[in-house]
Structure 1
Amino acid sequence: MSDSPETETPHRAGTVAVLGRPNVGKSTLVNALVGAKVSIVSPKPQTTRHRLLGIATFQDGQIALVDTPGLHRDQGGRAMNRYMNRAARGAVDGVDAAALVVEAGRWTEEDGLAYALLRDAGVPVVLVINKVDRLADKSLLLPFIAEVTQGREFAAVHPIAARKQDGLRPLVKSLLSVLPESPPLFAEDEITDRSERFLAAELVREQLMRKLGQEVPYSTTVEIETFEEEGERLRIAAVVWVEREGQKAIVIGQGGERLKAIGSAARLSMEKLFGRRVFLQTWVRVREGWSDDEAALRQFGYGE
């Protein structure tokens, strides 16, 4: 095969907003494409609260994936919900393309809301139909694709199972095809624009989402008070903030067992991501109504 420039595949690079309603697997997809855990995941909707860049580097291109909170109907909810919707809507500003992630067999009003936002942004949109492995009757997939693409314009359509990393190669090819010819935007070893301090807080919050009941995790946030290198080890002190004394007792658990389990699981995740030993200490404190307090949100890192 000739090595002349005429026959080489041009290198492409750009930003892709990953948008969709809550709990369709956006963060799972970003992690799968990046090849590392840059976004936390849990079975609960609205686990993602921040915009976050996941950098996926391939031989013929680089995709900067803008992971976003799930876009949902804003019905005058808490300040936190308004913040997440602003973060999701703002993610389309200045991107080169977008991936609209939906759940196989299910199209809701919120999916339509996300599509309308992307249509108005005027960028190429790749439809990603996730969780096809969970579709009990696979014969329903083609009619579903026909239904959701009717009257809507997509650059490509890809059924995938992000959790199993099925269908990702063709998806990457389509995403790269709608990006401009460009050298890499980031170094090959970069995987996110977020600091290790931020990622440490998120990994603690991930365990809160996973190990607590349905309501309490949404009233928690995590603040890193100390992040220090001690030789080959990291020393991290994290504060779990809750809104009521009763929630504090739930997070700590009987004899401190639940908080210990949360910290242990978070520490293991940190060691895997950071590639070194971690000494993690956790505390629980109360700040009344923080999730509906704009000043508190800013203090805890929920900026614009």
Structure 2
Amino acid sequence: MSNDEFRSGFVCFVGRPNTGKSTLTNALVGSKIAITSSRPQTTRHTIRGIVHRPHAQLILVDTPGLHRPRTLLGQRLNDLVKDTYSEVDLIGICIPADEKIGPGDRWIVRQVKQIAPRTAIVGIVTKIDKAGKEQVAAQLLAVSELLGPDADVVPVSATKGEQVEVLVDVLASKMEPGPAFYPDGELTDEPEETLMAELIREAALEGLGEELPHSLAVVIEEIVEREGRTEKQGPMLDVHAILYVERSSQKGIVIGKGGARLRDVGTRARGQIEKILGTKIFLDLHVKVAKEWQRDPKQLGRLGF
């Protein structure tokens, strides 16, 4: 098998919550398609990011973090992850450079090997910009011991762009020769509504208290093209979205004093969405309470889980 053949395949990044999986996805794709947050469990959907290089195409499947579930939502997210593991060509296990390997990391490695024993594994030591050289070296060794002698281990910093291309080459080298699955320039196969909802949720989670991440769901109700726009003005979309929380007290937190917080969420999300769609949008946000939706199968279905 010659090395200059075009290669393609599906890659899934796994790891404890907040180990930099979404940031890494965005860095490899070169555009923001996965939401990132300093708070664990922000990713809710498997977003496919597409990495185009002259010698390869990698389709990145960004899953929610595998965790011990406490609610029906948690169980459904875990099922989603397990289905993904067995369908991809390669699993990248993400472990940060600045945190010692713990029981959570070991549990995930055991789960991966159990669920997808035949899938190739690559160790990815993330956030190397947050650790000294000696700490990074020690972590590379520790991850190598954890995964076994057959697994490659690559250190990266997604935020600084260090070693990102090295990682692309290592991932591509594990793929079989094959055609590109997506046309050049396509970055994700997620529907626009899903991306919009995720970006609104990310903007709403910024700076909020610990209680909210799991309790917040966003549904895009309607997207309508604004009529009567002149050619000079260019097209504009009216996007109507609802942010669902579980309790009335949370509704107040999301809206903020005199609606200031919700306006801020709208401004931030609108900027991100316009960047992705390349068109002006008007964003209309409302907050509603859906009591205990994470535990209610009917409501979970309605909110897209």
For normalisation by structure 2, the TM-score amounts to 0.92
Cα distance in 1 between the residues matched to 2:120 and 2:196: 34
From 128, 131, 153, the equivalent of 2:127 is: 131
User: In the TM superposition, what are the counterparts of 1:135-284 in structure 2 within 5 Å?
Assistant: 135=131, 137-150=132-145, 152-153=147-148, 154-230=150-226, 232-284=235-287
Deviation at 1:144, TM superposition (A): 2.2
| Partner residue in 2 for 1:3 | none
Secondary structure of the 2:251 match is helix
Q: Does 1:110 align with 2:80?
A: no
Q: What is the alpha-carbon root mean square deviation over aligned residues?
A: 1.6
Query: Distance in 2 between the 1:144 and 1:8 partners?
Result: 30
Counterparts of 1:88 and 1:7, CA distance in 2: 33
Q: Which amino acid aligns with 1:160?
A: V
Q: Secondary structure at the residue paired with 2:274?
A: helix
- The one-letter code sitting in structure 2 at the alignment partner of 1:284 is V
One-letter amino acid of the counterpart of residue 147, structure 1: A
**2:41–2:213 contact (8 Å) kept in structure 1:** no
Per-residue deviation at 1:202?
A: 0.6
Q: Is the contact between residue 132 and residue 161 of structure 1 (CA under 8 Å) also seen in structure 2?
A: yes
Q: Cα distance 1:151–1:36, how it changes in 2: closer, same or farther (>3 A)?
A: closer
**Structure 1 residue matching 2:288: 3-state secondary structure:** strand
Cα pair distance change 1:7/1:139, threshold 3 Å: closer
Would you say the 8 A contact 1:71–1:110 is kept in 2?
A: no
* SS of equivalent to 1:164: coil
Q: Give ranges in structure 1 of 5+ residues lacking alignment.
A: 1-5
Q: Which residue of 2 aligns with 1:89?
A: 82
What TM-score comes out, normalization by structure 1 length?
0.92
CA distance in 2, matches of 1:286, 1:152: 44
**Following TM superposition, where does structure 1 have runs of at least 4 consecutive aligned residues deviating by more than 4 angstroms?**
none
Determine the C-alpha separation between the residues in 2 that align with 1:213 and 1:19.
Answer: 25
Moved more, 197-206 or 209-218: 209-218
Q: Is 1:55 aligned to 2:58, yes or no?
A: no
SS of residue in 1 equivalent to 2:87 = coil
Quote how far apart the aligned CAs of 1:151 are. 5.5
Structure 1 residue corresponding to 2:113, chosen from 110, 119, 128: 119
2: CA distance between counterparts of 1:243 and 1:8? 53
Tell me if structure 1 keeps the 8 A contact 2:125–2:139.
no
Secondary structure of 2:11 counterpart? strand
Q: Which runs of 5+ in 2 are unaligned?
A: 227-233
Note the C-alpha offset of 1:8: 7.3
Please give the secondary structure, in 2, of the residue aligned with 1:150: helix
**Is the Cα–Cα contact under 8 Å of residues 221 and 240 in structure 1 kept in the other structure?**
yes
| d(CA) in 1 for partners of 2:146, 2:95 | 17
Amino acid at match of 1:181: P
- Residues 260/112 of structure 1: CA separation in 2 closer, same or farther (3 Å cut): same
Partner of 1:46, secondary structure, is: coil
TM-aligned CA deviation for residue 296 of structure 1: 1.1
